[in-house]
């Protein structure tokens, strides 16, 4: 009774909400139902590719329909065999990741155990979180400090932010000075009590990434994320050699082999796989094991919805080399906050899983009906979808 009987692909969003950031707009879910009525949920990302990913989910569906959900590795490799461009297609890997996650949800429910128990059990009881999405409409240092105080008041003691405004590829003198002033103001306000994580969004060519890194070293950032355009691996090596800030990246890498290349060549200090685009739970565990072999820590990327978060936390719980977990939870729109009726909690800066079988969640299916949408996510011409709204100025 372990075959997948029914597959539903769902797109959710808030009609009329013209904000393109994926953490506040659309999400894509898959709902797998087994022969004996168990339900497994998975999620995949949408960043200006909602419709291509949704169509890719229909391709993956053809492999998983009537498949045995216990055979996670076999089912993933079966799609790999058919999907000629999988290793280079984030649309395909994202779609496949959602089905992989949902399969683990079914497996856990069938055994009556949380996924982390099936992956080696608990290593970490407390999952430290850092805030993201908190700095909407922040432009000046004063804006950032005012919003950051509200974040710290919730119990979070680490926050990630992009201080570079609308600089792209190049970094003007004014842009660099403003970034220094923002980071400096936050460090002066909180001292060493709060960790500051610098987000570059892969926006800079090598010269300007070096300038940014050297200017911000003195503020002792926790890490600097994606300092150069993702294809500039030689430039990344130069930044790594010359900037005394730990380098983090990984949300655009698609499998363990991609990660192995960056890890083994010393290009990265912290890896940030995304469970929803790098082939799911089991691949995430394998990536973390490769990183552990080289003394590299793991801080999973997590920018979309609560099903992604639940899947990610299940892996975090098992990792000796876990570092910190990204969280947008406090800054989601209400419909996304209410998508789960049972799940994890975030309190005083720490995540705790429910301990229930599978992902440990129950989905509010009224939300899946009330917020069903069909089509591309919002598009804001003067603001890329990867920035926090109101900051690209």
* Residue 129: both structure tokens together: 């979180």
CA angle at 334 for the pair 328 and 336, rounded to the nearest 5°: 60
Q: Which helix (H) or strand (E) holds 198?
A: strand 195-199
User: What are the tens digits of pLDDT across the range 364-379?
Assistant: 999 999 999 998 888 8
Checking phi first, is residue 360 left (phi over 0); if not, alpha (psi -120 to 50) or beta? left
CA distance 198 to 161: 6
End-to-end CA distance of the chain, in Å?
55
* Residue 376: both structure tokens together: 């591309």
**Marked catalytic residue, from 54, 147, 201, 336:** 201
Q: According to the model, what pLDDT value does residue 237 have?
A: 98
CA distance 72 to 82: 16
**Marked catalytic residue, from 128, 147, 301, 336:** 301
Q: What is the mean pLDDT of the chain?
A: 96
Is residue 301 part of the annotated active site? The answer reads yes
Q: According to the model, what pLDDT value does residue 350 have?
A: 98
* Residue ranges of the chain that CATH labels 3.30.390.10: 4-113
Backbone angles phi, psi at 232, to 5 degrees: -90, 65
CA distance 312 to 332: 18
CA angle at 233 for the pair 232 and 239, rounded to the nearest 5°: 90
Q: According to the model, what pLDDT value does residue 121 have?
A: 98
Is residue 82 part of the annotated active site? The answer reads no
This prediction has a pTM of 0.97
- Which CATH fold topology does 4-113 show? Enolase-like; domain 1 (3.30.390)
Q: Which helix (H) or strand (E) holds 151?
A: helix 141-153
Pairing of strands 340-342, 362-363: antiparallel
Q: According to the model, what pLDDT value does residue 382 have?
A: 87
* Residue ranges of the chain that CATH labels 3.20.20.120: 117-363
**Is domain 117-363 annotated with CATH 3.20.20.120?**
yes
User: What are the tens digits of pLDDT across the range 184-195?
Assistant: 999 999 999 999
């Amino acid at each position: 009774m372990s075959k997948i009987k029914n597959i539903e692909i769902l797109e959710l969003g808030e009609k009329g909400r013209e904000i393109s950031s994926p953490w506040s707009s659309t999400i894509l879910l898959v709902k797998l139902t087994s022969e004996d009525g168990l339900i497994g949920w998975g999620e995949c990302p949408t960043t200006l590719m909602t419709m291509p990913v949704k169509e890719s989910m229909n391709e993956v569906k053809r492999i998983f329909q009537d498949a045995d959900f216990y055979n996670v590795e076999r089912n993933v490799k079966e799609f790999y065999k058919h999907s000629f461009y999988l290793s280079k297609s984030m649309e395909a890997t994202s779609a496949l990741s959602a089905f992989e996650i949902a399969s683990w949800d079914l497996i856990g429910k069938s055994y009556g155990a949380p996924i982390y128990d099936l992956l080696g059990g608990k290593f970490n009881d407390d999952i430290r979180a850092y805030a993201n999405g908190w700095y909407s409409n922040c432009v000046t240092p004063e804006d950032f400090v005012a919003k950051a105080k509200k974040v710290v008041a919730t119990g979070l003691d680490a926050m990630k932010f992009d201080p570079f405004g609308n600089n792209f590829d190049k970094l003007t003198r004014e842009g660099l000075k403003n970034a220094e002033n923002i980071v400096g103001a936050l460090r002066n306000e909180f001292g060493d009590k709060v960790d500051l994580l610098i987000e570059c969004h892969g926006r800079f060519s090598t010269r300007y990434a070096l300038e940014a890194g050297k200017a911000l070293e003195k503020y002792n950032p926790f890490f600097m994320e994606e300092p150069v355009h993702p294809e500039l691996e030689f430039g990344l090596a130069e930044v790594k050699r010359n900037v005394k800030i730990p380098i983090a990246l990984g949300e655009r890498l698609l499998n363990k082999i991609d990660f192995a290349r960056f890890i083994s060549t010393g290009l990265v200090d912290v890896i940030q796989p995304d469970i929803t685009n790098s082939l799911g739970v089991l691949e995430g565990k394998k990536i973390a094991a490769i990183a552990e072999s080289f003394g590299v820590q793991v801080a999973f990327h997590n920018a979309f919805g609560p099903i992604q978060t639940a899947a990610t936390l299940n892996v975090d719980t098992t990792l000796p080399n876990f570092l910190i977990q990204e969280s947008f939870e406090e800054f989601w729109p209400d419909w996304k906050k209410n998508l789960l009726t049972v799940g994890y909690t975030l309190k005083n800066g720490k995540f705790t899983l429910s301990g229930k079988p599978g992902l440990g969640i129950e989905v509010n299916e009224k939300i899946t009906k009330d917020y069903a949408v069909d089509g591309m996510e919002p598009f804001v011409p003067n603001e890329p979808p990867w920035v926090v709204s109101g900051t690209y100025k």
